[in-house]
């Protein structure tokens, strides 16, 4: 199958090698005989609601977020439509913040967001930096762990009816106090976790690929044949151990 990926603002939102997530998805798809076709979608580019099986947006400094926020807000209807039609999504840090209702910077300025996720973010004075370990349940009864790295000033507050991506075991997470990290809305995932995220969390990469294939085939997400993820599991163990040792400490 051809899996069509829309990469939002790759030249603006790509800190901590967030574009590495695309490389992992490309490789893991190819190992199952699928081809990932990645299209960069930037300021002024169209976003047809049916054009992509997976949409991806990385993280960035406040300055870069300010450069793209008006364009992302203008794409809000298309993002909602793509989501409603079952496209998978992964949004990291600054991109995650702007898929909510908006981000208020330390200078008081407000960047309106796409309003897909039920949350809002306000920048605090102290950045939340370090390794993170989460527990999540994307499929009923299937508990998994995610390890990554966070660096954000933003404190994201989820709406009461919004679903977090996971429970923080070690780290700060959305706001350093709720005990939750990220947000999930069906096939759309938002997270503060960089690293990049997917090389050390291969099951999550496969979950996203399966959702994208479900969209591409207009069917249920398929079970992907397992890969021997020795290196990936080692990377996860190292990251999880760092989080255990240091995560969530100022
Ligand atoms: N600029 C945002 C913040 O500081 C997002 C940072 C990021 O993407 N790592 O919270």
* Average confidence (pLDDT) over 69-90: 98
Average pLDDT over residues 196-221: 96
pLDDT in tens, 91-108: 999 999 999 999 999 999
* Bond before 82 cis per omega within 30 degrees: no
From 7, 93, 136, 152, the catalytic residue: 93
pLDDT for 119 beyond 60: yes
Q: Looking at residue 17, what is its pLDDT?
A: 77
10-50: per-residue pLDDT in tens? 999 998 878 999 999 999 999 999 999 999 999 999 999 99
- In this prediction the pTM is 0.97
Helix or strand run (H / E) with residue 191: strand 188-191
Mean pLDDT of the chain: 96
User: What pLDDT, on a 0 to 100 scale, did the predictor assign at position 20?
Assistant: 94
Residue 250 reports pLDDT greater than 60: no
Q: Which residues pair with 154 in a beta bridge?
A: 123
Contact of 171 with 181, CB cutoff 8 Å: yes
Q: Are 155 and 137 in contact (CB under 8 A)?
A: no
Residue 83 tokens read as: 């989501």
Supply the pLDDT for residue 248: 65
SS3 call for 150: strand
Question: Which tokens go with 165?
Answer: 């991506």
How many percent of the chain have pLDDT more than 70?
Answer: 98
pLDDT value of position 13: 96
pLDDT of 228 > 80? The answer is yes
Rounded to 5 degrees, φ, ψ at 183 are: -150, 145
**Could you give the CA distance from residue 4 to residue 85 in angstroms, rounded to a whole number?**
14
Work out whether strand 180-181 and strand 166-170 pair parallel, antiparallel, or are unpaired.
Answer: antiparallel
Q: Is the dihedral of CA 25, 29, 31, 35 positive or negative?
A: negative
Q: Is the predicted pLDDT of residue 186 greater than 80, yes or no? A: yes
Q: What per-residue confidence (pLDDT) applies to 246? A: 75
CA of 65, closest atom in ligand 1: 1
> What residues flank ligand 1, with Cβ below 6 Å?
15, 59-62, 65, 93-94, 97, 123, 151-154
- Can you tell me which atom of ligand 1 is nearest the CA of 121? 10
Q: Scanning the structure block, which residue is given the tokens 């397992």?
A: 226
pLDDT score recorded for residue 6: 98
Distance CA 242, CA 36 (A): 32
Do the Cβ atoms of 163 and 183 come closer than 8 Å?
yes
Per DSSP, the chain holds a count of helices (H) and strands (E) of 6, 12
Ligand 1, from 65, 92, 95: best to mutate by most atoms within 8 Å of Cβ? 65
Distance from residue 169's CA to the centre of ligand 1 (Å) = 21
Write down the pLDDT at residue 249: 57
Going from the C-alpha of 144 to that of each of 49, 129, 147, 243, the distances in angstroms are 31, 23, 10, 16
- Provide the H-helix boundaries in the chain: 20-30, 62-74, 76-84, 94-98, 202-216, 230-246
The tokens for 212 are 């994208």
* Residue-wise pLDDT tens digits, 188-206: 999 999 989 999 999 999 9
Report whether pLDDT(69) > 60: yes
């Amino acid at each position: 199958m051809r899996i069509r990926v829309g990469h939002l603002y790759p030249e603006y939102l790509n800190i901590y090698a967030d574009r590495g997530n695309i490389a992992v998805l490309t490789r893991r798809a190819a190992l199952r005989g699928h081809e990932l076709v990645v299209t960069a979608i930037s300021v002024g580019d169209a976003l047809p609601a049916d054009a992509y099986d997976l949409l991806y947006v990385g993280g960035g400094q406040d300055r870069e977020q300010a450069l793209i926020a008006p364009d992302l807000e203008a794409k809000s209807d298309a993002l909602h439509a793509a989501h409603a039609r079952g496209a998978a999504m992964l949004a990291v840090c600054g991109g995650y913040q702007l898929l909510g209702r908006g981000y208020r910077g330390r200078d008081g300025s407000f960047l309106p967001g796409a309003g897909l996720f039920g949350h809002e973010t306000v920048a605090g004075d102290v950045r939340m930096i370090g390794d993170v370990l989460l527990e999540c349940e994307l499929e009923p009864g299937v508990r998994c762990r995610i390890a990554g790295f966070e660096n954000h000033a933003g404190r994201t507050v989820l709406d009461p009816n919004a679903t977090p991506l996971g429970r923080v075991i070690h780290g700060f997470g959305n706001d350093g106090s709720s005990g939750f990290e990220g947000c999930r809305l069906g096939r759309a995932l938002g997270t503060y976790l960089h690293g990049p995220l997917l090389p050390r969390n291969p099951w999550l990469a496969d979950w996203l690929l399966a959702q994208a294939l479900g969209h591409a085939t207009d069917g249920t997400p398929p079970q992907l044949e397992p890969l021997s993820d020795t290196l990936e599991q080692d990377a996860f163990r190292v990251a999880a151990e760092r989080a255990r040792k240091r995560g969530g400490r100022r």
